[in-house]
């Protein structure tokens, strides 16, 4: 039986004109934690785009590099670059085997990009992927609905939602990388 890596939680939230992306730092191999401080959220394309990835690390890094090449080709147009990456990902014999998902954001756009050819922009300004994605998404939506009452900004919402997800998902820890787009 082949060992497999599990888990990750990536969350992006847009609130009051700010977009923040967070990822946890845990890497597991079967039922063992092998790393606590992995960086799954990065800045690319002259620090104007923030990406977060879930899935096989080498595959995710490959996709991040390919997205950056598309951004260079299309002068930083995130939507165009994401659509072209998704098209290549779905049709290229090598890329089709990659096992990862990606969230990419800039100051105007928030996208989920998948190997199925999906380029999805959420309706409510929240998107999450990975093993703890559902918990982080639900927590962020709940926090957003009370953000003014509790005095949270986008950074606070993301940090608290990730904390909630880390308390629920065994493949998500409480060591976060948080970047603002």
Catalytic residue ranges: 8
Residue 59: CB partners within 8 Å, gap ≥ 6? Answer: 98, 99, 100
On whether the CB atoms of residues 55 and 99 are closer than 8 A, the answer is yes
| Helix/strand/coil percentages in the chain, nearest 5 | 35, 30, 30
Which token pair is 33? 């934690």
Q: How far apart are CA 174 and CA 151, in angstroms?
A: 22
Q: If you write DSSP's letter for every residue of 16-41 in order, what string do you get?
A: TTEEEEEEE--EEETTEEEES----E
């Amino acid at each position: 039986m082949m060992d497999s890596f599990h888990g990750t939680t990536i969350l992006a939230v847009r609130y009051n004109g700010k977009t923040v992306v967070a990822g946890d730092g845990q890497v597991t191999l079967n039922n063992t934690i092998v790393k606590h401080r992995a960086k799954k959220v990065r800045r690319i394309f002259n620090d104007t785009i923030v990406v977060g990835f879930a899935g096989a690390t080498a595959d995710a890094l490959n996709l991040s590099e390919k997205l950056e090449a598309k951004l260079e080709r299309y002068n930083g147009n995130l939507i165009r670059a994401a659509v072209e990456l998704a098209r290549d990902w779905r049709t290229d014999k090598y890329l089709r085997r990659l096992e990862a998902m990606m969230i990419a954001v800039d100051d105007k756009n928030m996208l989920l990009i998948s190997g199925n050819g999906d380029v999805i922009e959420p309706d409510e300004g929240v998107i999450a992927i990975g093993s703890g994605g559902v918990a982080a998404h639900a927590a962020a939506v709940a926090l957003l609905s009370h953000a003014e009452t509790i005095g949270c900004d986008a950074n606070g919402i993301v940090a608290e939602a990730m904390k909630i997800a880390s308390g629920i998902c065994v493949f998500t820890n409480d060591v976060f990388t948080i970047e603002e787009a």
